[in-house]
């Protein structure tokens, strides 16, 4: 929100971070990756202190043989990818926003289009250093309670200072992308689960379609291109691992992220989805795309929050496809124009107590906030999701009703207990924590 009275501190050293935490006033502190990057209000702290961690952006140790990196938590994921690609390594999980930091990716336990294959981000963390409320720096390893609370813990257990991450080996800096159109939601889900083992998969749903076409979508699947798949003699073949950031055409960049939602209503937002569907190829396979720094093939717009829009992301488990159907039908009937309606399959549940992914499906929406009755409509969807054993993503949430939290996240009680023990004075707090009483 513009004009929040927060004092933003950008520590350059671990000592500065520690003294900022020690000195923060009664309204506490929370760490964030950078200004305006988060979708929800997990990185806001009205009236209090916010630590901007992008000052701690050093890569300390690189093991190029094993693909292991020890770096500060403020390193941006796309920087890490640029740095490691020439050595044949890529970030293990690329969220829809390429501008997340390592610390933010762990705190929100982000997932990407490769969740069924790779799991979420914390799955690839070997160890991390956490500055807790008592001023101590603890080394946290996977398998411990503190790790489970910190992965997906929205920065409420402490400030992540460094992380050791295992990266993903790649042979080239290219993706082999297949695009196809799915005629309706059943067709789409069948295609996404047809025993296909490609690494990335996601679908953009056209919510203007109603009736028999409800849930029609453009389905994109991709895999890292192996070296021998590159045509000999081409530029790609000569420099298989060179990483060049690709600029989007300005018009496209504007439509996909830059245009404020308040300027557009449901008609224009819906038309954009319809246009995307109609202009997509019916079926195209084997397209070679550079794995440029902002992962264009991995779905989604450039990820800062779109002003005037509300982000809604939920997941429902396998066996709850009927709920998903019902929700998509309701969205279509509500004529909910969404700039971004992306369906992804999810794999196994991750270790984090407040981690979002569960085995099933996730749908993300960006809806103009000014639509009449939207608040009540989304509350209705929450009820339906909770009744189906699903959940809403906390990292992208700015409107969940507090009563539903424990239904959606059964380990929330453990999280509260651990926080009460670890941080009795409530030093770490955010607007999300205040609203949901985390």
Partner 1 sequence: MKDAFGLPQSLLVLGGTSEIALATARRLIARRTRTVWLAGRPSPALEQAAESLRALGADARTVTFDALDPESHETVLGKVFAEGDIDLVLLAFGVLGDQAQDERDPVRAVQVAQTNYTGAVSAGLVAAGALQTQGHGSLVVLSSAAGERARRADFIYGSSKAGLDAFTQGLGDALHGTGAHVMVVRPGYTRAEGPLTTTPEAVATAIELGLRRRSEVVWVPGALRLVMAALRHTPRALFRRLPL
**What is the binding site for partner 1 (CB under 8 A)?**
1, 3-6, 27, 41, 45-48, 310, 369-370, 374-376, 379, 398-402, 431, 434-435
Of 358 and 365, the one with the shorter C-beta distance to partner 1 is: 365
Of 14 and 377, the one with the shorter C-beta distance to partner 1 is: 377
Tokens of 137: 């720096």
CB of 371 to partner 1, least distance (A): 11
CA 135, 137, 142 angle in degrees (round to 5)? Answer: 135
CB of 378 to partner 1, least distance (A): 9
Print burial letters for 171-185: b (CB count within 10 Å at least 16), e (below 16): ebbbbbbbbbbbebb
CB of 5 to partner 1, least distance (A): 4
Of 189 and 381, the one with the shorter C-beta distance to partner 1 is: 381
CB atoms near residue 404 (< 10 Å) = 17
CB of 27 to partner 1, least distance (A): 7
Of 48 and 74, the one with the shorter C-beta distance to partner 1 is: 48
Distance CA 89, CA 228 (A): 17
Of 223 and 397, the one with the shorter C-beta distance to partner 1 is: 397
Sign of CA dihedral 303, 304, 305, 307: negative
* Helices marked H in 73-206: 77-84, 102-107, 115-118, 145-150, 185-192
CB of 398 to partner 1, least distance (A): 4
Of 51 and 185, the one with the shorter C-beta distance to partner 1 is: 51
- Supply the DSSP string of 404-423, one letter for each residue: GHHHH-TTHHHHHHHHHHH-
Find, among 199, 194, 203, 201, the residue nearest to 225 by Cα: 199
For 7, 33, 211, the CA distances from 153, given in Å and listed in that order, are 22, 15, 40
Q: Which residue bears the tokens 């390893």?
A: 141
SS3 361: strand
Of 4 and 348, the one with the shorter C-beta distance to partner 1 is: 4
CB of 315 to partner 1, least distance (A): 19
Distance CA 75, CA 101 (A): 5
CB of 97 to partner 1, least distance (A): 18
């Amino acid at each position: 929100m513009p004009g929040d009275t927060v004092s933003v501190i950008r520590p350059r050293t671990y000592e500065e971070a520690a003294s900022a935490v020690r000195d923060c006033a009664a309204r506490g502190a929370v760490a964030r990756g950078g200004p305006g990057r988060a979708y929800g209000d997990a990185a806001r702290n009205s009236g209090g202190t916010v630590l901007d961690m992008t000052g701690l952006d050093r890569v300390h140790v690189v093991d190029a043989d094993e693909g292991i990196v020890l770096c500060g938590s403020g390193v941006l994921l796309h920087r890490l990818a640029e740095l490691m690609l020439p050595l044949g390594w890529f970030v293990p999980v690329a969220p829809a926003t390429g501008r997340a930091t390592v610390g933010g990716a762990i705190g929100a336990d982000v997932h990407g289009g490769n969740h069924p294959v790779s799991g979420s981000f914390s799955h690839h963390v070997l160890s991390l250093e956490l500055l807790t409320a008592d001023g101590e720096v603890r080394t946290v390893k996977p398998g411990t309670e503190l790790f489970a609370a910190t992965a997906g813990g929205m920065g409420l257990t402490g400030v992540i200072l460094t992380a050791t991450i295992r990266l993903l080996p790649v042979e080239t800096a290219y993706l082999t992308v297949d695009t196809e159109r799915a005629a309706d939601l059943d067709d789409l889900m069948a295609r996404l689960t047809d025993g296909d083992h490609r690494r990335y998969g996601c679908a953009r749903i056209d919510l203007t379609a109603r009736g028999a076409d409800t849930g029609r979508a453009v389905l994109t699947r991709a895999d890292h291109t192996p070296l021998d798949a590159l045509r000999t003699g081409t530029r790609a073949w000569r420099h298989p691992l060179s990483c060049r950031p690709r600029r989007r055409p300005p018009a496209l960049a504007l439509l996909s992220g830059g245009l404020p939602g308040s300027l557009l209503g449901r008609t224009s937002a819906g038309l954009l989805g319809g246009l995307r569907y109609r202009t997509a190829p019916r079926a195209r396979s084997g397209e070679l795309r550079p794995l440029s720094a902002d992962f264009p093939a991995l779905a989604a717009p450039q990820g800062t929050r779109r002003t005037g829009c509300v982000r809604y992301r939920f997941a429902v488990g396998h066996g709850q496809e009927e709920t998903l159907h019902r929700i998509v039908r309701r969205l279509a009937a509500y004529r909910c124009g969404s700039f971004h309606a992306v369906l992804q399959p999810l794999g196994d549940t991750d270790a984090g107590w407040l981690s979002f992914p569960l085995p099933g499906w996730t749908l993300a929406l960006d809806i103009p906030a000014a639509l009449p009755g939207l608040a009540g409509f989304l509350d209705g969807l929450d009820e339906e999701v909770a009744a189906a054993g699903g959940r809403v993503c906390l990292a992208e949430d700015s409107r969940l009703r507090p009563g539903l939290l424990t239904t959606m996240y059964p380990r929330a009680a453990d999280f509260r207990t651990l926080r009460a023990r670890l941080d009795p004075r409530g030093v770490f707090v955010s607007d999300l924590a205040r609203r949901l009483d985390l």
